[in-house]
Amino acid sequence: MTTLIYRLLSILLAPFINMHMRRRVTEGKEDPNRIGERHGYPSRPRPQGRLVWLHAASVGEAMSALTLIDGLLEYDDKLHVLLTTATVPSAKLIAHRLPKRAEHQYAPVDKYTAVQNFLDHWHPDLAIWVESEFWPNLIMETYDLGIPMLLVNGRISPDSFRRWSRAPGMVRSMLQCFDLCIAQSLPDAGRLGTLGADNVTWVGNLKAAAPPLPADGRELERMQRAAASRPCWLAASTHPGEESAIARIHKALKARFPDLMTFIVPREPERGEEIKDSLRRAGLEVSRRTGLEPIRPDTDIYLADTMGELGIFYCALPIAFIGGSLVDRGGHNPLEAARLGCAVLFGPHMERYEDDERILIEAGAALSVRNAQALQDELERLLADPAQAAEMGRKGRALTRQNRQVRDALVAKIAPYLQSAGALQEA
């Protein structure tokens, strides 16, 4: 009944949803050239033959999906893959990273007509949802068409579990549409089962098997030269409230390391001008990447307010603090930094990545700090002991190399459903 009410509301509220999407275009949150895709109108023809559709909500999920796509295409050399995401940054990030026989479309907004348009055109032979973005219309309509559905790297955080527990009928109806739920961790598997998923298993975390973030060779060499001559550290994917703490930390650490340079890569590059102004008001010399401002001998902060270049800075710098963790945003993926050899630090708010946090700490590749002062203390210790930072980075690389077997285990779990889809198509 709850699902039926949701469907009826999405039909009745369609004009308001359309208005909301137009506003998002004007705010730069949607791609105006591809907004039709969000309403279910395709911009590409459906490829001939078997098609697997993977849905990954945003940047982190899309990066996880890339390694699974490679595995599926290696398994079946006639298979085609459609990857959908819902955000502009995710589309930009993967634009040049999809292999042959794979293509990207924006996911349809969860209104009834958009979902119908999308499924009528693409009609995949198998649907794979990555992680935890559950949209009732999209799930239920896919199920009603008889398309097998799998949940891969399924994640239900404690907060999400509490929220979904308030709508037990709806979440149970959605989860029981999945033929198989492969959880990201054992606790996630338990929460999925409690919410109503029937066939739940676990093989490991797909994010641990994701490919390294890309790094342009010429730019990497330039950043490595800059980092080689001065003590440096990186604050990655920062949020409002964290940059001011980073400014205070930088000023305090300069008493011991006069040549210190701090690199900041904000989570939202469009905040670059605002961040630059606040740092300069704090008395710091800032070089901004989007303005092509060079790194000078007196540069305190290098503000890399660009999209898709985080891999350059993880490769070039020895220590990385993961943003969204000093403020209550749930953190960001720390495995990306560990995979490229950084000693990893994060604050107390890593709720979205609690399992990654745990395994990195246990491996000796990362440290958790309770507040900005503790972050300053650990940074001072690691900057004074480069060998310790390098050892943490080495352990992080080793850990992520071990986890690449997760992809193969997932492909093995998915293979029977690919074979069934092929048999049905041939029939």
User: Is 61 annotated in the active site?
Assistant: yes
Whether pLDDT at 403 is above 90: no
Q: Which of 37, 61, 131, 242 is the catalytic position?
A: 61
Whether pLDDT at 427 is above 50: no
pLDDT bin (cut points 50, 70, 90) of residue 426 is low
Average pLDDT over residues 194-202: 93
Q: Could you give all domains of the chain from N- to C-terminal order, each with its CATH number?
A: 2-8+34-205+404-426 (3.40.50.11720), 217-402 (3.40.50.2000)
For the segment 89-123, what is each residue's pLDDT rounded down to a tens digit? 889 888 888 999 999 999 999 999 999 999 999 99
Task: Give the closest residue to 339 by CA, choosing from 242, 236, 221, 245.
Answer: 236
For the segment 245-278, what is each residue's pLDDT rounded down to a tens digit? 999 999 999 999 999 999 999 999 999 999 999 9
Q: What is the 3-state secondary structure (H, E, C) of 300-366?
A: CEEECCCCCCHHHHHHHCCEEEECCCCCCCCCCCCHHHHHCCCEEEECCCCHHHHHHHHHHHHCCCE
Strands laid side by side in the 232-238 sheet = 286-288, 301-303, 261-266, 232-238, 319-322, 343-346, 366-368
> The whole model's pTM is what?
0.77
